[in-house]
A and B are shown apart, each in its own frame.
Chain A
Amino acid sequence: MYLLDIKDITYRVKEKEIFSGLSLAIEPEEVHAILGKNGTGKSTLAYLVMGCESYIPTSGVILFEGKIINDLKIHERAQLGITLAWQEPVRLEGISVRDYLTLKKKERNPSIYLEMVGLSPELYLNRIMDKSLSGGERKRIELASIVALEPKLAVLDEPDSGIDMLSIQDIINVINVLKKNGAAVLLITHREEIAKIADRASQICNGKIICSGDPQMVAQYYKSRKCEVCIAGVCAYV
């Protein structure tokens, strides 16, 4: 049985069809990279899996461990073991990094998760998650919080955006730790070097998966694309 099984989903916003018959299956402990240009719906896929407000498939089903989750709210999906790291993490006034990393489990030691993403616990545990933190710092803390949750499925929406090149290894480390802890990862990225650490990869174009398989092969296919921005219309791959 697949851990996540997205079956033939259509997702329409007003008259615009974002997905038309998209299917994707992820095994337990599989790292699956999603590649695609801006506007292809990669983040939308992440929100559909997490169940964000107004992100419900127009048709088709999303199964998690064999159970249809289309109608479940975000927290209900989180309680099943799904979580999401947003591309742009929010800031939270008055909430310390320590509080954030121990939201549901107060007994958890937050230091190890910060060290994992290259942040010093001494310097960061008591920092407040407000605008005093940079975007890159927030991104790292978000990744640390995802590991701390010990999910079954972590959806990482462009974990590399806003983090400098030298830190890519930290992100790869996080993905490896998630996998080692038994999590599957749905990894949305633009970077080939990150996609290549996945077990499998898929490329989204025009609301469909157009290429799926070995990450090297999909990355090569993605590199040879002719379009820069998806206009959700006819392109070389359709």
Chain B
Amino acid sequence: MSELKELMKVFGESGGDNSILAREDIAHFVASGHKILSTRATEGLKIQAEETDTGIAARVRVLEGIVIKNPVHLCFGILHKKGIQEIRMNIQIERGASVRFIAHCIFPKAEKVRHIMDAVVEIGEDAEMRYSEVHYHGPYGGIEVIPKAVVKVGKNGRYFSDFSLITGRVGKLGIDYAVEAGENAIIELIARVFGHGDDRISIKEKVALDGENSRGLIKTRVALEDKAEAEVTGITQGNAAGARGHVDCMEIVKDSAVAKAIPIVNVTHPLAKVTHEAAIGSVDKRQLETLMAHGLTPEEAVDVIVKGILK
């Protein structure tokens, strides 16, 4: 079986739609390890990519005023037990353009794998970018994933990011996102992670509300069991008049898991306002009892609650 077919097979098994590769109206970029396996651009979308010694370097542009109707699928992975994949991405969404990326990051057999994503994103005036990233790391936990992004959002721009790793083991995860919001910009960063075994999770997300009337939300949902550990740092800076930000972190712990939340709110302008909320603890007793009164066993009830917060 070719590497592309094998990757797409795992992609399909983890909930992805295999038909996207065949469709000419859907853009995609697929890379396994250090190899580019398949790529297709659509009108107004430019993808320039090259293989490097350790992974892939890519430049993606959505041209001015172009609204890309179908999501652009990015698929990265390593199919072997061991390996390194370093993705350097430069994404530019030009003025008035709009795009949604769905990134699938697949490492089904990872025993000693390292995946680094280093992205620089620039979203122009009146432009919008949505970025959903779904990870599957397999059952062994032998992986280190370091997604890093620096994002700059222009006037009236919008950036929505949604990171999800809720099936299989996590391994070691170190998210580090920093976003600068211009005037009237809207930023939403969501992360959902379910840690098991001895997984180690570090999520650091920072939104600097530098433009007047900019808006930011950092929302993190983490569930932990066994001996997993997580530290979530949500930083929001209100640096301009009318800037409004909120940090919302919820972590549920079971067994011997350990969770930590560090919300940092920093306001440097008297007309800015930033709020935060954090809730860490075991599954809420009242929620549990309510579901049990509906006939669910304690295990089923916990499952419903955890799946709910990670949804």
Instruction: Give chain A's interface residues, CB within 8 Å of chain B.
Output: 50, 52-53, 73-75, 78-79, 83-84, 86, 89-90, 92-95, 103-104, 145, 149
Contacts and interface: CB of A to CB of B under 8 A. Distances in A.
Contacts of A92: 287, 290, 304-305, 308
Contact of A149 (B294, B305, B308, B310): B294
B69 interface: no
Contacts of B250: 93
Contacts of B289: 50, 52-53, 74
Given A92-B308, A94-B307, A95-B308, A78 B294 contact: yes
B294 A90 contact: no
B310 A75 contact: no
B113 to A, nearest CB: 30
B286 A75 contact: no
* Residue among A52, A74, A79 with max Cβ neighbours from chain B (10 Å): A74
Contacts of A149: 294-295
B287 to A, nearest CB: 5
Interface of A: prevailing SS: loop
B295 A75 contact: yes
Contacts of B310: 94
A145 B305 contact: no
Contacts of A73: 292, 298
B20 interface: no
* Residue among A52, A84, A94, A149 with max Cβ neighbours from chain B (10 Å): A94
A68 B309 CA distance: 37
B293 A79 contact: no
B23 interface: no
A75 B288 CA distance: 10
Contacts of B265: none
A90 B301 CA distance: 13
Interface band, chain B: 20 to 34
A83 B311 CA distance: 27
B117 to A, nearest CB: 26
Interface in B265-304: 284-287, 289-298, 301, 304
A73 B310 CA distance: 27
A19 to B, nearest CB: 20
Given A90-B284, A90-B286, A93-B250, A74 B308 contact: no
B308 A93 contact: yes
A136 to B, nearest CB: 17
22 contacts: A50-B293, A53-B289, A74-B292, A74-B293, A75-B297, A75-B301, A78-B293, A78-B295, A78-B296, A79-B295, A84-B293, A86-B286, A89-B290, A90-B284, A92-B290, A92-B304, A93-B311, A94-B309, A94-B310, A95-B304, A95-B311, A149-B294
A75 B292 contact: yes
Given A75-B297, A94-B311, A104-B296, 19 more contacts: A74-B292, A74-B293, A75-B293, A75-B296, A75-B298, A75-B301, A78-B294, A78-B296, A90-B286, A92-B304, A92-B305, A93-B308, A94-B308, A94-B310, A95-B311, A104-B294, A145-B294, A149-B294, A149-B295
A69 B183 CA distance: 63
A83 B296 CA distance: 11
Contacts of B286: 86, 90
Contacts of B296: 75, 78, 103-104
A53 B311 CA distance: 28
Nearest to A75: B292
A43 to B, nearest CB: 13
A86 B290 contact: yes
3 A-B pairs with the lowest CB-CB distances in the bound complex, closest first = A94-B308, A94-B311, A74-B292
A107 to B, nearest CB: 15
Contact of B291 (A50, A79, A103): A103
Nearest to B310: A94
Given A93-B250, A94-B309, A104 B304 contact: no
A89 B287 CA distance: 9
Contacts of A53: 285, 289
Contacts of A79: 295
